[in-house]
Amino acid sequence: MDTYTTIIAVASIVTSGITIGIGVIGPAIGEGRSVATALSSMAQQPDSSATITRTLFVGLAMIESLAIYCFVVSMILIFANPFWSRALT
C-alpha cells in the first residue's frame, strides 16, 4: 500500500457507505406511503384487492429500483472499482 492507493481506498469506503445510507431514505418513505395507502384502499374497497395489489407491486418495483441504483453504485465502488484496479497495477 502506498499513499495514493490508501486515499482511493478511503474515498471508496466512505462513499459506498454514504451512498446507500442516504439513498434508502427516499425509497423507504415512498414505499411506506405506497403500502400504507394500499392497505387503507383495500379496507375501503375490498373488491378491488387484486387490481390494487398488482399496481402496488409494480409501483414498489419502480421505487425499489431507485434504491437498487444506489446499491449498485455502492457495490461497484467496493468490488469493481476501476480507479482501485488502476491504482493496484
Q: How far is the CB of 1 from a copy of itself (least distance, A)?
A: 4
Q: How far is the CB of 85 from a copy of itself (least distance, A)?
A: 11
The answer to whether the beta carbons of residues 19 and 74 sit under 8 Å apart is: yes
**Alpha-carbon separation of residue 78 from 3, 6, 10, 74 (angstroms):** 18, 14, 11, 6
Contacts to a copy of itself from residues 9-28, by CB under 8 A: 9-28
Q: Nearest CA to 25 among 74, 79, 67, 76?
A: 67
Residue 46 makes contact with a copy of itself by CB under 8 A: yes
Q: How far is the CB of 51 from a copy of itself (least distance, A)?
A: 5
The answer to whether the beta carbons of residues 38 and 63 sit under 8 Å apart is: no
Contacts to a copy of itself from residues 70-89, by CB under 8 A: 70-71, 73-74, 76-79, 81-84, 86-88
Residue 35 makes contact with a copy of itself by CB under 8 A: yes
